[in-house]
Copies of this chain bind each other. A is one copy, B any other.
Amino acid sequence: MAHKDHADVYRVVHDLFSKIPFNQLLGLEIEDMSDEHARLRFAMRDDLVGNYTRNILHGGVISATLDVTSGLMAFVGVAKRIRSGSLAEKMERFSRLGTIDMRVDYLRPGAGEYFVASARVIRSGNRIAVIYAELHNDSDELVASSTCTYLVG
């Protein structure tokens, strides 16, 4: 949260994020957030396992986490663009934010005690934002990567 003057925007985003029940269900916590990057973290839990024998993350947890992290990044990107607007304008703009599509590449088995999902902006236009995200395990191995596109205007 390097940008002190934007602290209020981040606080609002942080609050909204932690109130979303599905984020709680997955145990996702925001570790870091700026205008260009976002990083989430979650701990391995028994109910996030997809393959018992190998004790690795369920594919659905991986796709969901990358989806959430990228969505947060797109949300911050929109927040950044409308900093000067009124609250009503901001809310109207947020309500128009929508995910268009997502591609996930599953690169390595999701083994680890905790995982870090990070997202960055590839392209931020007036109407479309493209967000790239990665999931690493506690040994900093790249487990999966994704590209998501969002309608932002």
What are 7 A-B contacts defined by CB distance under 8 Å?
Answer: A20-B49, A21-B46, A21-B48, A60-B64, A99-B106, A102-B102, A107-B130
Total contacting residues, chain A, CB less than 8 A? 45
A100 close to B (CB within 8 Å): yes
Contact B58 A22 (CB under 8 A): yes
Give A69's nearest chain B residue, CB to CB: B60
Interface of A: prevailing SS: mixed
Identify the A interface with B (CB < 8 A): 20-22, 24-26, 46-50, 53-54, 58-61, 63-65, 67-68, 71, 95, 98-108, 122-123, 127-128, 130, 142, 145, 147, 149, 151
Given the contacts A20-B58, A21-B48, A107 and B127 also touching, CB distance less than 8 Å? no
Contact A59 B47 (CB under 8 A): no
Smallest CB–CB gap between A100 and chain B, Å?
6
A107 CA to B130 CA in the complex, in Å?
8
Chain B residues lying within 8 Å of A104, measured Cβ to Cβ, are 63, 101-103
Of the candidates A48, A54, A61, A67, the one having the most CB atoms from chain B within 10 angstroms of its own CB is A67
